[in-house]
Structure 1
Amino acid sequence: MTQRAQFEPALFLGFILIFSLEIAFTLKINANLFLIGFSLIYMLWQSVSLHKILWAFIIITPLAFGTWCSFWFFSQGDRLFNATLYVTRLFAYVSMGAALTLTTTPKALLQNAHQRFHLSNTFVYGLIAALNLLSQVQSQLKTIQYAAALRGIKYHLWSPQLYFKALVNAGRWSEHLADAMHAHGFTEGAPRTEVPNSPWPLLQIVMLSTILILVNIIIFWS
């Protein structure tokens, strides 16, 4: 199965931020719907499962319902317009975020951002290392809960004692992580061998710029 072409993660993130700023300061429902449709089409093009897409929208539905009720009962002016505007804006933000996060990985995004925007090696590789520890953090939280249960103590997810113990362990992990990075030859501020920069993807820039132009047409001339 051939892999379908996709936008570079860092480039796509940059345009998503521009789209988000555009709709944040405008009162156009059509622009919100256009970005929702674009995000859905892109996710389907990238073969993102419908299950994941639906869950992204289901999770945000209670917040959308609360937003609708707030503007319907307490806003001034056209209540239906205000409620629809802010609910569609919320779904536009969620759909654009899902279009990015469900089609790439944090590691790919950080590495691409490092290549394109020259982010610090320390920042990029430190974040990648921290993300790789997430599974161990989840396992450690369960271990702390089991150990407490043996003593007749029950730690819930909102118990501060649970996270205090996890932070103590995280302090030890940070030292081990620093030692491991130094063992692999990572030195802060030192020059590193870099992958040669590839040319900017002009076709992707043209496509995303076209979407941006269409959004502005909807905003200012619809």
Structure 2
Amino acid sequence: MNSSLKFILAFIISLEISLKASLTTNLIVIAFALIYLLVTRIKIKELILLIAVPFIASFTIFATLFWFSPTPDAYYAWNLSTRVYVYTLTIACVTRNTTATDFARSLEQNLHLPSKFAYGVLAAINIIPRMKTAVKQIRTSAMMRGMYLSFWSPVLYFKAILVALNSADNLAQGMESHGYVEGQKRATIVAIPLTKKDWLIFFTLLILVNISLFIFK
């Protein structure tokens, strides 16, 4: 399925589920998301992390609404706690087998977003590993001078911002040197197709979710 349509579908489903309470629909979406992840051969370690990490937030919501509320409501507690898994697993389905480059190209070609936005998203994603390396270098350099920069140290973030600004300037110069001109029409190197099958899957899943929301509680 086209990555842009997957993103829109996940966004609409998450929005509708947040507005209409339906525990059955939450469980159905979670089940289908898990099946999709298993069919696409997700690693067991990644699947365990997807289940374990949101558990803290989900359990906190359930405990707050059921055990520590003056008027405990089991249905409401289960409904809100399962929404955490709906949001997490639907986003996992969107990112499954979709690279940042393909997603940026899809935003530009299929949703007709400005190329500067698409390239900006791609640049922001690709600069994250470089920023992690820069932060490690800054902390190592500080330790060699007898300074320990903690995770919440303002000095660490100030120096990281300077590195980010320098990287942004280098990126802009690199794009210009490769012929990028803002507002000009660009040729398509790799086309991202948007087929009738993609639209069929999109509307089928969307209709099924909406039917479930209005039928089940």
Q: Structure 2 length as normaliser, TM-score? A: 0.92
2:158 counterpart letter in structure 1: F
Q: Are 1:156 and 2:150 an aligned pair? A: yes
Aligned to 1:56: 50
Shift of 1:19: 0.7
Q: Are 1:102 and 2:96 an aligned pair? A: yes
Shift of 1:83: 1.1
**Contact 1:43-1:103 within 8 A present in 2 as well:** no
Q: Are 1:209 and 2:207 an aligned pair? A: no
Aligned to 2:23: 29
Q: Are 1:183 and 2:177 an aligned pair? A: yes
2:144 counterpart letter in structure 1: L
Aligned to 1:20: 14
Which secondary structure does the structure 2 equivalent of 1:104 belong to? coil
Aligned to 1:66: 60
Distance in 1, matches of 2:180 and 2:48, equals 42
User: Greater CA deviation, 77-86 or 140-149?
Assistant: 77-86
What does 1:128-147 align with in structure 2 at a 5 Å threshold? 128-147=122-141
Aligned to 1:166: 160
Distance in 1, matches of 2:186 and 2:81, equals 47
RMSD: 1.8
User: Greater CA deviation, 22-31 or 203-212?
Assistant: 203-212
**Structure 1: 5+ residue runs without aligned partners?**
1-6
Which of 102, 109, 118 is the equivalent residue of 1:124?
118
Distance in 2, matches of 1:132 and 1:121, equals 16
Percent identical: 30
1:44 counterpart letter in structure 2: L
How many pairs were matched up?
A: 216
CA gap 1:108/1:180 in 2 versus in 1, 3 angstroms: same
CA gap 1:21/1:143 in 2 versus in 1, 3 angstroms: same
Which secondary structure does the structure 2 equivalent of 1:200 belong to? coil
User: Greater CA deviation, 191-200 or 92-101?
Assistant: 191-200
**Structure 2: 5+ residue runs without aligned partners?**
none
**Contact 2:2-2:193 within 8 A present in 1 as well:** no
**Contact 1:53-1:98 within 8 A present in 2 as well:** no
**Contact 1:32-1:89 within 8 A present in 2 as well:** yes
Distance in 1, matches of 2:121 and 2:209, equals 33
Which secondary structure does the structure 2 equivalent of 1:117 belong to? coil
